[in-house]
Structure formats: C-alpha cells, structure tokens
Amino acid sequence: MARSEEQFKEIRDQRYEEISNAALKIFARKGFAGTKISDITSSIHLSHGLLYHYFKSKEDIYVSLITNVLDLFNQAIHEAEQLPGTPYDKLYWVTELTFKGDAGVALDRHMLMMGALHADFLTEQTKQMIKQRYEASLRRIGDLVKAGQQEGIFKQGDHMELAAYYMSLSQGLMLWNAKGLYPINVTADMVMQPLLASEQA
C-alpha cells in the first residue's frame, strides 16, 4: 500500500528530530569546529546524502538548533504570561519547567547557546538574530520581575539586572550539577528566593 502524504510528513519530521537531537549532543560536547557531519550521521546511522535532504550545511544545522532553543524558551515565557496568578506564580512555573526536564538536554542547549554567542564563524546577521532573540527573552523575564516589584513581591532595584541575576543563577546551578562534584537538589523555591522582597522571604 502506498504511503500517504501525511505518513511521509510524519517520517520526515521524525527524521528531522532525530538529526537535531544527535547534532545537539555532539555540538554541545565538541563545539562547532570540532564537529564533523560524519559525527552526526554515524551516530544515527544516516547517510550524508540523506542528511542534506533536511539541512543545507553544518552551519544550517547549528543555526536551526539555536533558533529552536530560543523559540522554546520564548514559548515557555509566553505560556507563563497567559497563566492566572501573580508574576511570582508565572516565573515560578518557568523555573520549574527549566529544571524538571532532561538535565542532559538542558545542559546541551545551554552549552550550545554559550558557544553561539561568541562564534566567529557565524555571520554578523546571524549573531545579531541570536542576540536579539536572547535579549527578547531576558526582557520578558524582566517584565515579570517589574510586575512583581509593583505588587511588592520582588525586591526593588533594576528589574533587568534582577532578571539577568535570575537567569545566571538558573544556568549556573545547571552547570554546577553537570560537574558531578557535589550535586545540588535544585528547586524552584531556591532559584526564586533571591528575588523576593524582604517581607516576602
């Protein structure tokens, strides 16, 4: 029986995800320069030719992964903004989401982003796109912090600095646990605590 167009699309989408997941792990561990197309294809038993049906180049895979990471984070913040409750409740939800997923995947995404922000091989246009999307996420976190300040939930101060502190703490805890030296049982309460106004703490 001939496959339907929907079946072909499903197979294509699954293969795209398979390539993306494999590439994420390898780029995060080896960096862009240290990664070869053959590293990706051999890890999932895929021919070079078939990979090029999905991506034009190694850089295309890399940029697609970064765009996907940024879109996922922005989508999470957007969903949080639509939730009922206080700004604290919304940011708490984002924090829980950050730490309840696969820790390995979260770390790979973070390592990919850190490398991309300082990548010399990317065009200025691409680097600006990454920076603008990253800053957009930070601004939205900052808006939640500012709203929380207005309600007396979060401490006073530059709301963007507090947003940067929040994101740095989240990422720092993730990186620390990846070292495996003295793992910390990270909770949303732990990450949120430094933002709270003294009467809320």
Mean pLDDT, rounded, of the chain: 88
CB 117, CB 53: distance < 8 Å: no
Q: Is the dihedral of CA 145, 150, 153, 154 positive or negative?
A: positive
Q: Which region among 6-10, 11-15, 43-47, 170-174 has the lowest average model confidence (pLDDT)?
A: 6-10
Radius of gyration of the chain (CA): 19
CA distance 164 to 171: 11
Residue 201: predicted pLDDT: 58
Q: Give the separation between CA 48 and CA 141, rounded to whole angstroms.
A: 41
More confident residue, 61 or 10: 61
User: DSSP assignment, residue 100?
Assistant: H
Contact predicate 154/193, CB 8 Å: no
Confidence of residue 1 (pLDDT cuts 50, 70, 90): very low
What band does 184 get if pLDDT is binned at 50, 70 and 90?
confident
Phi, psi torsion values for 157, nearest 5 degrees: 140, 180
Q: How far apart are CA 40 and CA 124, in angstroms?
A: 26
The residues, any chain, with a CB within 8 Å of residue 109's CB and separated by 6 or more, are: 24, 28, 69
Determine the CATH number of domain 1-55: 1.10.10.60
pLDDT > 90: percent of the chain: 51
Could you read off the pLDDT of 83-139 as tens digits, one per residue? 999 999 999 999 998 888 777 788 888 888 888 877 788 888 888 888 898 899 999
What's the pLDDT at 112?
85
Task: Using alpha carbons, select from 71, 78, 81 the residue that is nearest to residue 148.
Answer: 81
Identify the pLDDT of residue 196. Answer: 95
Q: What is the pLDDT of residue 22?
A: 92
CB 104 within 8 A of CB 97: no
- What angle is formed at CA 124 by the lines to CA 76 and CA 142, rounded to 5 degrees? 30
Q: Give the mean pLDDT of 158-174.
A: 93
**Which residue intervals of the chain bear CATH 1.10.357.10?**
57-195
Angle at 165 between CA 163 and CA 168, to 5 degrees: 110
* Per-residue model confidence (pLDDT) at position 13: 79
Q: Which residue spans of the chain are classified as CATH 1.10.10.60? A: 1-55
Note the pLDDT tens digit of each residue in 49-81.
889 989 999 999 999 999 998 898 899 999 999
Phi-psi region of 92 (alpha: psi -120 to 50; beta: other; left: phi over 0): alpha
How high is the pLDDT of residue 7? 64
Which of 1.20.840.10, 2.40.10.500, 1.10.10.10, 1.10.357.10 would CATH assign to domain 57-195? 1.10.357.10
Rounded to the nearest 10°, the torsion over CA 116, 120, 124, 128 is 20
